[in-house]
A and B are shown apart, each in its own frame.
Chain A
Amino acid sequence: MTLDLTKLSQLSDLTISEPEKFSKNLKEITTHFAVLDNLDTKNIEPTFQVTGLKNISREDLVVDTPPIHQGCFVTDILVNRNG
């Protein structure tokens, strides 16, 4: 894939601080990926979860949750406003 920095910047919601340096770094990083091309993965399933857990769900029950209004729920917001 050709490297489209504008698109990458939009997708990741980041302003690329040093575009030239990043392009160079990315090129360097992707050269390490070439080692994978020699491996045969034709009939190999991808691994998304290493311990074999599947479809973890909880029972749909109403539970009592601990109160969140202990004076701390708002601290982060206050700190951020002042900061």
Chain B
Amino acid sequence: MDNKLNAFITIIEKPASGIPIAIKDNICTKNIKTTAASNVLKDFIPTYSATIIERLEAAGYSVIGKTNLDAFAHGSSTENSDFGVTHNPHDFDCLPGGSSGGSAAAVGAGLVDFALGTETAGSIRQPAAWCGVVGLKPTYGYVSRFGVIAMASSMDCPGPITKTATDAAKILEIISGHDPLDATSLNVPPYKFCKLKIENLKIGVPSSYLKIVTPEILEKFNQVLEVYKKLGHEIVEIEMMDPSISIAVYTILQRAEVSSNLSRYDGIRYGGPRTVFNQENERRILTGTYVLAAGSYDQYYLKAQKVRTLIINDFDEQFKNVDIIMAPTTPTTALPIGSSTDDPMFGENADQLVEPSSLAGVPGISIPCGFIGKLPVGFQIIGPHLSENLIINTAILYEDNANNRI
């Protein structure tokens, strides 16, 4: 099956006994090749495991393979991988999304029940939606980044990709919690799932988000809202900042942090020379260098950091009036293979409904809510900082009551 999908970069021939889990190949695994899907690191074998891998192994999970991604997680298609594109398990001619496309495709195809992805802005939720699986992006700092190959450190966040919200909760229980090795790690105890009796929920639906989705996706999303309405929850339309503002802020900050984080690949300490970066990596490093350069720092970088404050304030204000925010995860279903080539803003457009919450560092979960043709659709539930238990329980409520489960 994986020959057709190309979901894995490395498959462990004799995995240790335990519950099988697939790991995105930008998460360091001791003695197992970790490439970040880039030729720069094609032979890199880490000498230690990421904290989240150590925690999973201690809890009885066993790494069965390392999954494909856009090289250094730069992209939302898995088409920017230096080791070939991953195919969508529901339609081999379509993209799986990304950057955690390999993990989402592996779970979507039923090759594995649990996978880890990482999200900077959409890289867990968007491929999960396109592959018809559950993707959870936790609160920033809730899950340790130690041992995760850095992309944009102020947003990077590892999280589970699974078949159900309950499974995602199980993985989050293991990987979350303070890690002294990650200075941005929150000093809070690990997540503990507890079943909530959810009543009279006030669900905010941002009208600006609905304007940019296809009519078919909107129809599916309205069916989701009907499920919650029938259960007695209140749906309120809310006005949030235009997602195109987040695209601009994210593009500036992500490129800037990339140019800094990828400066470590000098061909001396790790892997190959800088000449083997692929074109998307090169474009992002150069764009980041440009927005940070002396003549444009104030105009672009500092301005973006200030607007990021406005985006955070926007979420804080909304959560004074509503319990959670709900929206479709992606503007379209999975696009055909080849769509991202030569479009420098492909990822930003595919991820525009998830970028604002990533910039604000709040948690979000994408849940499958049916199909359009062969292709799955997902919707997302966003909550305030550390409200994982609320959003997971709200997701389970849908899974238990909708009749179009995958």
Binding site for B on A (CB under 8 A): 1-3, 7-9, 11-18, 22, 25-26, 28-30, 32-36, 39, 41, 44-51, 53, 56, 58, 68, 72-73, 75-76, 79-80, 83
Q: Give chain A residues whose Cβ lies under 8 Å from the Cβ of B286.
A: 8-9, 12, 14, 16, 22, 26
- The CA-CA distance from A29 to B272 in the complex, in Å, is 28
Residue B361 lies at the interface, judged by CB distance under 8 Å to chain A: yes
Does the CB pair A44–B310 fall under 8 Å?
A: yes
B268-300 vs A, CB cutoff 8 Å, 1 = contact: the mask equals 001110110101001101111110010110011
Q: Please report the total number of B residues contacting A with Cβ < 8 Å.
A: 64
| Chain A binder among B43-51, B79-87, B124-132, B215-223 | B43-51
Which of B46, B184, B247, B310 has a CB less than 8 Å from the CB of A41? B310
Which of B139, B266, B279, B288 has a CB less than 8 Å from the CB of A51? B139
**Could you list some 29 contacts between A and B, CB below 8 A?**
A1-B295, A3-B290, A8-B289, A8-B290, A12-B259, A12-B286, A14-B274, A14-B282, A18-B279, A25-B344, A29-B287, A32-B244, A32-B251, A33-B252, A35-B248, A36-B248, A41-B303, A44-B307, A44-B309, A45-B306, A47-B305, A47-B308, A47-B312, A49-B184, A51-B385, A56-B183, A75-B31, A75-B45, A79-B45
- The CA-CA distance from A1 to B252 in the complex, in Å, is 15
Q: Closest Cβ of chain B: how far from A81's Cβ, in Å?
A: 10
Residue B154 lies at the interface, judged by CB distance under 8 Å to chain A: yes
Q: Give chain A residues whose Cβ lies under 8 Å from the Cβ of B303.
A: 36, 41
Q: Give chain B residues whose Cβ lies under 8 Å from the Cβ of A17.
A: 279, 282
Q: Give chain B residues whose Cβ lies under 8 Å from the Cβ of A50.
A: 140-141, 154, 312, 359-361
Residue B180 lies at the interface, judged by CB distance under 8 Å to chain A: yes
- The CA-CA distance from A49 to B141 in the complex, in Å, is 10
- The CA-CA distance from A11 to B259 in the complex, in Å, is 10
Q: Which residues of B288-341 have CB atoms within 8 Å of chain A's CB atoms?
A: 288-290, 293, 295-296, 299-300, 302-310, 312
Which of B154, B287, B359 has a CB less than 8 Å from the CB of A48? B154
Does the CB pair B290–A28 fall under 8 Å?
A: no
> What 8 A-B pairs come out closest when comparing CB atoms?
A46-B305, A50-B361, A1-B295, A41-B306, A12-B289, A1-B296, A56-B183, A79-B43
Q: Give chain A residues whose Cβ lies under 8 Å from the Cβ of B180.
A: 58
Does the CB pair A72–B154 fall under 8 Å?
A: no
Residue B249 lies at the interface, judged by CB distance under 8 Å to chain A: yes
Q: Give chain B residues whose Cβ lies under 8 Å from the Cβ of A83.
A: 42-43
Q: Give chain B residues whose Cβ lies under 8 Å from the Cβ of A26.
A: 286-287, 290
- The CA-CA distance from A25 to B285 in the complex, in Å, is 13
Q: Closest Cβ of chain B: how far from A44's Cβ, in Å?
A: 5
Q: Closest Cβ of chain A: how far from B15's Cβ, in Å?
A: 18
Q: Closest Cβ of chain B: how far from A82's Cβ, in Å?
A: 9
Q: Which residues of B249-275 have CB atoms within 8 Å of chain A's CB atoms?
A: 249, 251-252, 259, 263, 266, 270-272, 274-275
Q: Give chain A residues whose Cβ lies under 8 Å from the Cβ of B289.
A: 8, 11-12
Does the CB pair B274–A13 fall under 8 Å?
A: yes
A36-B307, A44-B309, A79-B45 are known contacts. Are A11 and B293 too (CB-CB below 8 A)?
yes
Does the CB pair B290–A36 fall under 8 Å?
A: no
A25-B344, A33-B251 are known contacts. Are A53 and B306 too (CB-CB below 8 A)?
no
Q: Give chain B residues whose Cβ lies under 8 Å from the Cβ of A28.
A: 344-345
Residue B402 lies at the interface, judged by CB distance under 8 Å to chain A: no
Q: Give chain A residues whose Cβ lies under 8 Å from the Cβ of B186.
A: 51, 53
Residue B231 lies at the interface, judged by CB distance under 8 Å to chain A: no
- The CA-CA distance from A33 to B284 in the complex, in Å, is 15
Does the CB pair B302–A46 fall under 8 Å?
A: yes
Q: Give chain A residues whose Cβ lies under 8 Å from the Cβ of B140.
A: 50-51
With most chain B CB atoms within 10 A of its CB, the pick from A32, A50, A53 is A50
